[in-house]
Amino acid sequence: MCGIIGIVGLEPVAPRLIDSLKRLEYRGYDSAGVATIEVGRVDRRRASGKLRCLEEVLLAEPLTGQVGIGHTRWATHGAPNLRNAHPQTAGRVTLVHNGIIENFAELKAELIAEGRSFESDTDTEVVAHLIDRGLTHGLTPLNAFRQTLDRLSGAYALAVLIEGENDLVMGARRAMPLVVGHGDGEMFIGSDALAVAPFTNRVSYLEEGDYVAIDHNAARVFDAEGNSVERPVRIVSVSAAMVEKGNYRHFMEKEIHDQPDACQHTLSAYLDPIARRATPPGDFDFNSVDRLQILACGTAFYAGMIGKYVIESLAGLPVDVEVASEFRYRGPALAPRTLAVAISQSGETADTLAALRWCKSKGLKTVAIVNAHESTMAREVDLMWPTHAGQEICVLSTKAFTAQVCALTALAIAAARTRGRIDEVEEQRLVQVLLEAPRLLSEAIASEDVVRSLASMVGRARDVLYLGRGAMFPLAMEGALKLKEVSYIHAEGYAAGEMKHGPIALIDQETPVVVLAPSDSFFDKTMSNLSEVIAREGRVILITDEAGARHAPAEARVILAPACDPLIAPLVFAVPLQLLAYQVGVFKGADVDQPRNLAKSVTVE
């Protein structure tokens, strides 16, 4: 789950490697490193911690080579320290790696028995040794690379420099993404199109098992069997400008504010605002299936749960939702005529991808609700239902989540109409309601000041509970996840009706309880649960609309959300929850955009 970049350039390459690594930092940020080659000699600089630490090292000891590789790490094998930082070196070989070499222990034992010594705890170092061994046996760099790849089990994207080879970077991929960027007299390889976006928009996607050698003028690509192959060059629309923070303090803040736009943009792919009709992109017929199996992780899973509530209640179409890491290993029984629906911002999450592939192998039609339209998931599914949230940089998902909920809600309307559960007039009403979501999301952002005033109370707590009923239940879990991630405060989301079956024991004066209660058909019941909390001296933050606020007990602190139709309440109420997590993170001085231990794209299982 690291980010890698390789450049064969026409000018000193270190600043460009850093530029690219900044775009890849979302994949991990435990350590970083670069290496360049100059007059046949490879030199590397590494630092534990974030990229700025590596930048300081480079300031003190610059690198001037025009050909180089870079890496930003999310530690899997070996502590996140300097000796385990990439690039890793053995003999003439220096390389960077994203993924996990599953048979590294056995390879390492073999290499040690031959007298080779290791300087890191990484799985990666064995790859460098294997290539170097091939070179010492007289193989060409490409043959030594090829032979090494044949020995590896597990997952990898690699970028490799060879001492003495001034015009060469080799790369390979298996189960991890790798793209080739085509410049003018320069060539690039990187973990994704964003990595090479500052240099070129002409990109080829390597396929499973491919390996590649780039020099100043060309990329020679080979498939897993060693056959020379062509991978088409595509023009991609990932703009370097997309990753600017503008006037906001953090990307999280910016992305919360981006949500009206992100939702508007997403909805325009699903709704016809003139005819007020909802149509799934690709014209999918919801009568062709009897069941949906939603697969996702983390925040995307909570979006899927909200999708279940809205699709089942509107369209009467049964929906199962499961975290992909469980689904893929437990031998699930699938009903015939089930549509497998992956939900993913990145389109690269290893567990979701594996679950999707499993469904495909069982003959199910597959769909991905995905934000990264060039991702592996997007390319492997039968049908893509895009979200248009734009590039999400903060590790915590905000605008991608609401965009997913927008897509699912639009799909629910389309399914309801196709399956005869609602008539045209009701479809038009619901579409109109959904079209109002972007405006209401923007009104919900106005709660920012009130939310800020509550941040210190929540920020001092050790535990926080979130309660909701109906679609507010998965949203409560999403609110708790956001708080955990950004502030490291323990938080749990519960179905409000479940509280009396256990969690109520946690209530005391120290534990804030965030209650999500739009004035809908569940309102009275949720308010009873709120009273139970107050009776036990719990401190309540009530998120509700104006009508709901009129019933708020004096003890409750109220965050006002705009009044809205229940259809879009999960969208509108998501905003104060995200703002609360953000403000608590700021109050605690947390690393809001890059919390510890997390990575934006989880490409390991």
Question: Which position has the token pair 């094998």?
Answer: 77
Q: Are 306 and 406 in contact (CB under 8 A)?
A: no
Compare residues 248 and 523 and give the one whose CB is closer to ligand F6R.
248
Please identify which residue in 148, 352, 519, 594 interacts with ligand F6R, judged by CB under 6 A: 352
Q: Which of 108, 399, 482, 600 is catalytic?
A: 600
Is 600 noted as a catalytic residue in this protein? Answer: yes
Query: Of 576-605, which residues contact ligand F6R (CB under 6 A)?
Result: 601-602
According to the binding rule CB under 6 A, does residue 300 interact with ligand F6R?
yes
Question: Which position has the token pair 């001492």?
Answer: 163
Structure tokens at 41: 């000699």
Q: Are 209 and 221 in contact (CB under 8 A)?
A: no
- Print the binding letters for residues 37-66 with ligand F6R: x by CB under 6 A, - otherwise: ------------------------------
Structure tokens at 349: 């999450």
Q: Which long-range contacts (CB under 8 A, 24 or more apart) does 220-224 make?
A: 221/180, 222/146, 224/174
Q: Which stretch binds ligand F6R (CB under 6 A): 71-79, 175-183, 345-353, 359-367?
A: 345-353
Q: Which stretch binds ligand F6R (CB under 6 A): 38-46, 108-116, 180-188, 291-299?
A: 291-299
According to the binding rule CB under 6 A, does residue 410 interact with ligand F6R?
no
CB of 16 to ligand F6R, least distance (A): 27
Q: How far apart are the first and last CA of the chain?
A: 10
CB of 250 to ligand F6R, least distance (A): 14
Compare residues 1 and 206 and give the one whose CB is closer to ligand F6R.
1
According to the binding rule CB under 6 A, does residue 200 interact with ligand F6R?
no
According to the binding rule CB under 6 A, does residue 36 interact with ligand F6R?
no
Compare residues 295 and 507 and give the one whose CB is closer to ligand F6R.
295
Max CA distance (Å), the chain: 82
Alpha helices in 419-562 (DSSP H): 424-435, 437-444, 448-459, 472-487, 523-535, 546-549
CB of 509 to ligand F6R, least distance (A): 30
According to the binding rule CB under 6 A, does residue 299 interact with ligand F6R?
yes
Give the integer Cα–Cα distance in Å for 104 and 113: 14
Query: Of 470-529, which residues contact ligand F6R (CB under 6 A)?
Result: 481, 485
Compare residues 74 and 286 and give the one whose CB is closer to ligand F6R.
74
The half-sphere exposure of 286 on its side-chain side, counting CA atoms within 13 A, is 26
Give the integer Cα–Cα distance in Å for 478 and 463: 15
Give the integer Cα–Cα distance in Å for 523 and 500: 17
Q: Which stretch binds ligand F6R (CB under 6 A): 50-58, 93-101, 297-305, 532-540?
A: 297-305
Please identify which residue in 94, 122, 346, 583 interacts with ligand F6R, judged by CB under 6 A: 346
CB of 301 to ligand F6R, least distance (A): 7
CB of 299 to ligand F6R, least distance (A): 3
CB of 344 to ligand F6R, least distance (A): 3
| Torsion of the alpha carbons at 358, 362, 364 and 367, rounded to the nearest 10 | 10
According to the binding rule CB under 6 A, does residue 345 interact with ligand F6R?
yes
Cα–Cα distances in Å, from 416 out to 193, 293, 317, 374, 565?
37, 17, 8, 30, 17
Compare residues 30 and 545 and give the one whose CB is closer to ligand F6R.
30
Q: What are residue 469's DSSP bridge partners?
A: none
Give the integer Cα–Cα distance in Å for 169 and 161: 5
Who's near 554: CB < 8 A, 6+ residues apart?
none
CB of 332 to ligand F6R, least distance (A): 19
The half-sphere exposure of 171 on its side-chain side, counting CA atoms within 13 A, is 35
CB of 408 to ligand F6R, least distance (A): 13
Compare residues 295 and 542 and give the one whose CB is closer to ligand F6R.
295
Give the integer Cα–Cα distance in Å for 272 and 357: 32
According to the binding rule CB under 6 A, does residue 298 interact with ligand F6R?
yes
Q: Which long-range contacts (CB under 8 A, 24 or more apart) does 418-421 make?
A: 418/285, 418/286, 418/287, 419/286, 419/287, 419/315, 419/316, 419/317, 421/314, 421/315, 421/316
CB of 169 to ligand F6R, least distance (A): 28
Give the integer Cα–Cα distance in Å for 138 and 441: 64
Give the integer Cα–Cα distance in Å for 21 and 27: 10
Compare residues 94 and 345 and give the one whose CB is closer to ligand F6R.
345
Q: Which stretch binds ligand F6R (CB under 6 A): 1-9, 136-144, 247-255, 338-346?
A: 338-346
Residues, the chain, total?
605
Count the site residues for ligand F6R by CB under 6 A. 15
3-state secondary structure of 294: strand
Residue nearest to ligand F6R (CB): 298
CB of 346 to ligand F6R, least distance (A): 3
The DSSP result for 587-599, as a single string, is HTT--TTS-TT--
Per-residue 3-state assignment (H helix, E strand, C coil) for 201-215 = CEEEECCCCCEEEEC
Is 53 noted as a catalytic residue in this protein? Answer: no
Please identify which residue in 297, 407, 515, 592 interacts with ligand F6R, judged by CB under 6 A: 297
Who's near 247: CB < 8 A, 6+ residues apart?
none
CB of 15 to ligand F6R, least distance (A): 29
> What is the phi-psi region of residue 408: left when phi exceeds 0, alpha when psi lies from -120 to 50, beta otherwise?
alpha
Query: Of 366-405, which residues contact ligand F6R (CB under 6 A)?
Result: 396-397
- What is the torsional sign of CA 392, 395, 397, 399? negative
Q: Which of 2, 297, 359, 394 is catalytic?
A: 2
Contact residues for ligand F6R, defined by CB under 6 A:
297-300, 344-346, 349, 352, 396-397, 481, 485, 601-602
Active site residues: 2, 600
